[in-house]
Amino acid sequence: MTRVFTKVLIANRGEIARRIIRTCKAKGIKTVAVYSEADSKALFVREADEAILLGPAPASESYLRGDKIIAAALETGAQAIHPGYGFLSENAEFAENCAKANIEFIGPSPASIRAMALKGAAKALMIQANVPVTPGYHGDDQDPKVLQKAADEIGYPVLIKAVAGGGGKGMRRVDNAEDFAAAMQSAQREGQNAFGDSKILVEKYLLVPRHVEIQVFGDKFGNVVHLFERDCSMQRRHQKVLEEAPAPNLPDHIRKAMGEAAVNAAKAINYVGAGTVEFIVDVANGVENAPFYFMEMNTRLQVEHPVTEEILGIDLVDWQLQIAAGQKLPKSQGETVANGHAIEVRLYAEDAENGFLPSIGKLTKLSFSPLARIETGVEAGDEISIHYDPMIAKIIVHGKNRTDALSKMRAALILAHIEGVKTNLGFLRRLISDADFVAANIDTSYIETHLTELTKPWKNVEIAPHIMDADPTSPWNDNGGWQLNLPPRAPHNMVYRRESHGDLGSGEIISPMPGKIISLMVKNGQKVAKGEPLLILEAMKMEHMMRADIDGEVSELSVSEGQQIGEKTQLLKIIEGEK
């Protein structure tokens, strides 16, 4: 039976909350925002028709409190809850509790969520549905010896994944048997912290893979369609940086086969709503006859959904609302026709030139090209907080073909203007113009292999003269060279110096941001070598390894495991000397 929604609660924040509000307003549906104390003045809170405070800034006390969210829906009379992505969007228990409260969960059934939640069980199900899966160990036995033996038999390199993982968390590449145990423990720890589940699986690591995913939609009448593919191969530490649709240079017969496999995967779990079936494509021997393997299914809307919307001219959030209300799919498979090419980049508050360290602080200036589609949850004057993902905005363009889209994205990135925090804007400008990327010679290791060139400091001379800002206070004309004279750093070396914390190589280890000490690997008096791991800091949802910058002896170690520390906190010193 069709259910008419007059009010929808949005159980999320930032840009996705604003995105959902926009569609609801266009359909005449009232919206309810829920927010944390840190988001009390956020754009999405002001744009919603009503707003309910959930609690303090940490997500565990606010956006992950399903009980408070359902109570807010009942209090405001919302008939449905849209979970967005992240937080509770793939939480089967939350979906069940919505149903118990007679509130429509705008997403798949709890059974479908559970079927895909644990990667090992999901892959077993896909095998039954004749969907190809990556060779690996997906068993329940988590004994370290069993896992090590499985990795040895699969053959290195292997990829460790948290079974309940997503977003790159709980994933580790291991290149040899000696490193497996430490990587396994790190993945288990991150999986437990992020998802409450330390179980892992082990798979063969494909050396030249592309990440291609298929958007699927199902309704309550058993109909399922795919809405073509997106290429998400531009990743760093398994976190997507750039997505495009359609996937460049992918042969039509592979597109067709992947689309059919994705529909089969969705039908195998009676899928309803928006979902994404992710595949890894092995292009080691070229793309023409490349095999592809099921990787996972995300039972929600994806961050990169705008590129699919742009090539199809449809509103996927509108489709979600229609299907959740009991309507049939708006289009059949034959009625969906792709047009042109779309690209999305993720603008993050991070220092790409210094190991992509997250950057926090106030956005003093924020402006974008009016010719690009911008999805953002912040405005000038807002704070980038340690509590949530550091994404500032998604920048999306659509062109008549890939060349046209690339040209539009270059212009959009040049015209973007952000001050107050460090960003990956220069990195994105280099990436979108890199010769190999333009030629679509891509795989998931692309950023890693091109890192030196992509993370060079952005200079004024790289901007076309007619785009240069004549304002002497503009960042385009700032030639102070705040980072230019520093030597390049390894991507994950977290030794922090911009201020006078001592000369380079002095051995003073400073926290680059607020966070939590997850693991200590040294003690006072211990001899260490340059590059040796010292501790693991968890910040902004990711683990970061901090290493020694000189040979010497650990001194003044003043932190302990589990301790919360602030930005610029001295963690320890290394007295120079031979190990």
Q: What's 508-576's CATH class?
A: mainly beta
Does the annotation count 430 as an active-site position? no
Q: Where in the chain is the domain with CATH 3.30.1490.20?
A: 135-204
Indicate whether 482 pLDDT > 60: no
Residues 208-339, CATH architecture: 2-Layer Sandwich (3.30)
What pLDDT is recorded for position 167? 65
Identify which has the larger pLDDT, 487 or 306. 306
Q: Where in the chain is the domain with CATH 2.40.50.100?
A: 508-576
Digit-coded pLDDT (tens) for 6-31: 999 999 999 999 999 999 999 999 99
C-alpha 376/C-alpha 389 separation (Å) is 12
What pLDDT is recorded for position 531? 86
pLDDT average, residue stretch 290-311: 96
Count Cβ atoms below 10 Å from residue 139 Cβ, excluding itself: 15
- Residue pair 574/516 in contact (Cβ under 8 Å)? The answer is no
DSSP-assigned states of every residue in 242-263: EEEESPTT--HHHHHHHHHHHH
What pLDDT is recorded for position 375? 98
Residue 358 banded pLDDT, cuts 50, 70, 90? confident
Digit-coded pLDDT (tens) for 547-573: 888 999 999 998 988 888 887 888 999
What pLDDT is recorded for position 2? 66
The crossing angle, in degrees rounded to 10, of helices 119-128 and 110-117 is 100
Lowest mean pLDDT among 193-197, 397-401, 422-426: 193-197
Beta bridge partners of 418: 366
Backbone angles phi, psi at 546, to 5 degrees: -110, 135
pLDDT average, residue stretch 377-388: 92
Q: Where in the chain is the domain with CATH 3.30.470.20?
A: 208-339, 346-481
Residue 354 banded pLDDT, cuts 50, 70, 90? confident
What pLDDT is recorded for position 198? 92
The single residue of 19, 65, 230, 300 carrying the catalytic annotation is: 300
**Which CATH number describes the domain made up of 346-481?**
3.30.470.20
What pLDDT is recorded for position 483? 35
DSSP-assigned states of every residue in 526-549: -EE-TT-EEEEEEETTEEEEEE-S
CATH 2.30.110.10 for domain 7-106, yes or no, is no
Cα 282 to Cα 133, 167, 261, 265, 445: the distances in Å are 12, 21, 16, 20, 12
Q: Where in the chain is the domain with CATH 3.40.50.20?
A: 7-106
Lowest mean pLDDT among 58-72, 113-127, 171-185, 498-512: 498-512
Q: Which CATH superfamily groups domain 135-204?
A: ATP-grasp fold, A domain (3.30.1490.20)
What pLDDT is recorded for position 373? 97
